[in-house]
Structure 1
Amino acid sequence: MSIIECNPTTTDCYPTRKASEAALLYRQDPVVYGKPDDGPIDAETLESFDANGFLAVRELLRPDEVERYSAELDRLAADPRVLADERTVTERGSEEVRSIFEVHKISEVFAEIVHDPRVVGRARQILGSDVYVHQSRVNYKPGFTGKDFYWHSDFETWHAEDGMPRMRAVSISIALTENYVHNGGLMIMPGSHKTFVSCVGETPADHYKASLKSQEIGTPDPASLSILADKHGIELFTGPAGSATMFDCNCMHGSNGNITPFPRSNVFIVFNSVENACVEPFSAPNPRPSFIGARDFTPVSIR
């Protein structure tokens, strides 16, 4: 494994898409910045998050809240204005909705969950600071036709294409449908967040237009994935609608396609520390559009 002496003011601590061979690099940053007294996560769960890179909340939302968010999910997918918006991404080869980005700005209903203390409070605690929304979206994985999300570290893309300097961001995926073992649930390699996979392949201009449907540049090579999987194993997350998974920005994760009749939909929010605001991309010609990687670093308030 390569070791890079990292001075964050002068050095790209996580070089990627710059070399002809993939590399595994040690993480240079803490995982947990806050303390048990800083929020709703207890000491044992914080320790587990530090070690594994994720935590699960069995019942984050009440049944009535799930019903409300699910209805809004359906409304957005049927709104012609939303379907025509560039923030809506369809599945490759069909007009089925794959994701709707910046959903907290499109929908007042989903804006509420961004400011919910059960959500933003946990993000603040893990990251040890005020946070802003780097990205929000709803993901639709319809029955029979929902496509896969290949293995990837979100941070690799956010660093390379959005200019996120350090690993000080956290994501939360909140289930709006039942997560079974067979309908394309989230898979994570526990502990993989401690290793950064430096990928090969130069980032083309406007890469986001293709990558949001199916990412190829910035995905890890099979050898690196095999090393991480052999070392850490793979955990598949199941749970009822209203449950949530929170995970570190560098966790290696992905999900299979959904060939069952049972849809799998979720709302996905990325919180970044205000002390880790994005700069110019480290491995791309230009930043991605702000609806994918925000350039507004205003802290999220709790309502």
Structure 2
Amino acid sequence: MSAASQDRLHDPYPTRLDHAIAPVPRHEPSVWGDAGSGPLPSVDLDAFAAQGYLIRPDTVGEDALAPLGHELERLAAELDADDPRVIREPGGTIRSIFAPHLLSALVADVVRLDTVLPVARQLLGSDVYIHQARINLMPAFTGTGFYWHSDFETWHAEDGMPAMRAVSCSIALTRNYPYNGSLMVIPGSHRTFYPCVGATPRDHHTSSLVAQRIGVPDENTLTKAVDADGIEQFTGAAGSALWFDCNLLHGSGSNITPLPRSNVFLVFNSVDNLLTAPYAADGIRPEYLAARATRSLGLAAPSA
């Protein structure tokens, strides 16, 4: 039997099953570094370990926000309508643009900020690379939400991410209000893996990036999680960042206000957690969704 087959027989996080099973306690820590290995003090590391998320204001300086906003507009205008990296809402407006750090020097600079890269390395306790990056756009009136999910469930099932050693950084480029589709999280939910029912369809990403229906917890599971831990929301000024664990349950509502919302979304994975064959899918997803060619991020750049 191959090593890959053995890994799947002993998968600690089974999902996409034909029947429901009990939630699985997390095997790994959520914080791998310590206060001496990066900019976060012990109080922030303890909060992240307990809640699964952390809000960091002033991650991107005010003088960099307007150029980044213009860069988003440029990318949206210049990318071909049939470019697979561009995900559109059912009505045709752009929902997400994937791999912007490979399309824009300005976005690449954000990845290497000293308010970003050292934090990722500290939380994961190792060197890191970009597993996935995207720009999310929540246009006024028409922006639709993201249903409750754990990113790790998808990355494990469809990308072959072995362990919970990845972290996301969502940097607001516009103010996040409670009413314009800002991200909601279930604090503490990162400590439990919730297996999902339903086999992964072929080329699942072609539909799930617009509306995910496979790989999401059922309503009873979500109700119990919220009853236990409640819901928190990421609100605040442009330039602030939400860091959250790869297994934290999160989602967002639609934006029916005249206030658009946009963010740069960066996923850092540990170089000690490289992707294998998918655990619950027939084939791998495209490189712009799940990087297998790791790229060195070099040294952090000064804050923008």
TM category (shorter chain) comes to over 0.9
- Which residue of structure 1 lines up, in the alignment, with residue 71 of structure 2? 72
- Alpha-carbon offset, residue 85 of structure 1: 1.5
- Which residue of structure 2 lines up, in the alignment, with residue 13 of structure 1? 12
Aligned amino acid, residue 23 of structure 2: L
Alignment partner of 1:164 out of 129, 146, 161: 161
TM-score by length of 1: 0.95
- Which residue of structure 1 lines up, in the alignment, with residue 28 of structure 2? 29
- Alpha-carbon offset, residue 8 of structure 1: 6.8
How far does the alpha carbon of each residue in 1:96-121 deviate from its partner, in whole angstroms, 9 at most, with x for none?
A: 00000011111111111112221111
- Which residue of structure 1 lines up, in the alignment, with residue 216 of structure 2? 219
- Which residue of structure 2 lines up, in the alignment, with residue 87 of structure 1? 85
How far does the alpha carbon of each residue in 1:1-26 deviate from its partner, in whole angstroms, 9 at most, with x for none?
A: xxxxxx97962110001231153110
8 Å CA contact 1:274, 1:299 repeated in 2? no
Note if 1:249 corresponds to 2:252.
no
Q: Using a 3 Å threshold, how does the CA distance of structure 1 residues 262 and 26 change in structure 2: closer, same or farther?
A: same
- Which residue of structure 2 lines up, in the alignment, with residue 104 of structure 1? 101
How far does the alpha carbon of each residue in 1:131-167 deviate from its partner, in whole angstroms, 9 at most, with x for none?
A: 0100000000000000010000000000000000000
- Which residue of structure 2 lines up, in the alignment, with residue 288 of structure 1? 285
TM-score by length of 2: 0.94
8 Å CA contact 1:102, 1:135 repeated in 2? yes
- Which residue of structure 2 lines up, in the alignment, with residue 58 of structure 1? 57
Q: Using a 3 Å threshold, how does the CA distance of structure 1 residues 295 and 226 change in structure 2: closer, same or farther?
A: same
- Which residue of structure 2 lines up, in the alignment, with residue 4 of structure 1? none
How far does the alpha carbon of each residue in 1:267-291 deviate from its partner, in whole angstroms, 9 at most, with x for none?
A: 0000000000000000000111110
Aligned amino acid, residue 60 of structure 1: T
Which runs of no fewer than 5 residues in structure 2 stay unpaired?
1-5
- Alpha-carbon offset, residue 183 of structure 1: 0.2
How far does the alpha carbon of each residue in 1:59-101 deviate from its partner, in whole angstroms, 9 at most, with x for none?
A: 111111111111111111222x344321000012x11000000
In 2, the alpha carbon distance for the partners of 1:125 and 1:181 equals 30
In 1, the alpha carbon distance for the partners of 2:8 and 2:37 equals 28
Matches within 5 A, 1:153-232: 153-232=150-229
Moved more, 11-20 or 41-50: 11-20
Note if 1:49 corresponds to 2:55.
no
Query: For 2:137, what is the secondary structure of its paired residue?
Result: strand
Query: For 1:229, what is the secondary structure of its paired residue?
Result: helix
Aligned identity (percent) is 50
In 2, the alpha carbon distance for the partners of 1:214 and 1:10 equals 30
Which runs of no fewer than 5 residues in structure 1 stay unpaired?
1-6
- Alpha-carbon offset, residue 124 of structure 1: 0.2
8 Å CA contact 2:34, 2:42 repeated in 1? yes
In 1, the alpha carbon distance for the partners of 2:251 and 2:64 equals 27
- Alpha-carbon offset, residue 200 of structure 1: 0.3
- Which residue of structure 2 lines up, in the alignment, with residue 131 of structure 1? 128
Query: For 1:15, what is the secondary structure of its paired residue?
Result: coil
How far does the alpha carbon of each residue in 1:197-220 deviate from its partner, in whole angstroms, 9 at most, with x for none?
A: 100000011000000110001011
User: What RMSD, in angstroms, separates the aligned Cα atoms of the two structures?
Assistant: 1.4
